Homo-oligomer: A and B are copies of this chain.
Amino acid sequence: MAATGTTTELGTRERLVRTASRLMQHGGYENTPVKQLVREAGATLGSLYHFFPGGKQELAVAAIHFGDEEFAALLRAGLTAHPDPAEAVEAVTGLLAEALEASDWLDGCPVTATALETVGRLPDLQAACARAFANWQELVAAKLLASGYPEEEARDLAITVVNTLEGAEMTSQVTRSRTPLLVAGRHLARLVASYRP
């Protein structure tokens, strides 16, 4: 190899995190056996417990953070696509619908499934999921604030925007249809516009 100073392709640790994020996106935490995980990541059990002494749970927290950032990137892409926040939010639903259908309705929200099954069971994971939701709300709120929305209305709208995206993404996934997401886009745009300063 030429450049041995940096990672040539992707380090084992990174492959583990990304694979865990993808598998947990599909089936959540308990439905993701570590052996399948390391196999698909092209790693071994030894590597997993080398990088994550806390085991599956520590890896899962890292995977949730990765999914958090991944979703945030898509959110940023949609939000910056239009200056107007209402149009921007609707653009996000379009991006989500596209990505979801392209994955044969499998790649839903990378956090939701894990969030629901860890409530009251695995506090570390639940906290990581809560942080992700807060992070996404913050992105939406920033867009609204930058457009002149008053502080309180911006914060509240951001909560509902993210929640509706989550709910619509789930329903689109279960029913294998773009409709819930696209309808959510229209309604959120109308709602956001109705508060326009």
Contacts and interface: CB of A to CB of B under 8 A. Distances in A.
A179 B160 CA distance: 10
A95 interface: no
A130 B175 contact: yes
Contacts of A134: 175
A18 to B, nearest CB: 19
Given A174-B129, A187-B157, A190-B191, A26 B166 contact: no
Interface stretch (A27-35, A39-47, A73-81, A138-146): A27-35
Contacts of A115: 170, 174
Give the interface SS of chain A, mostly helix, strand, loop or mixed.
helix
A160 B181 CA distance: 9
Contacts of A27: 117, 119, 121
Interface of A: 26-28, 30-31, 104-106, 108, 112-113, 115-117, 119-121, 126, 129-130, 133-134, 156-157, 159-160, 162-168, 170-171, 173-175, 179-180, 183-184, 186-187, 190-191, 194
The 6 closest A-B pairs by CB, nearest first: A167-B167, A163-B167, A166-B167, A113-B116, A163-B168, A164-B164
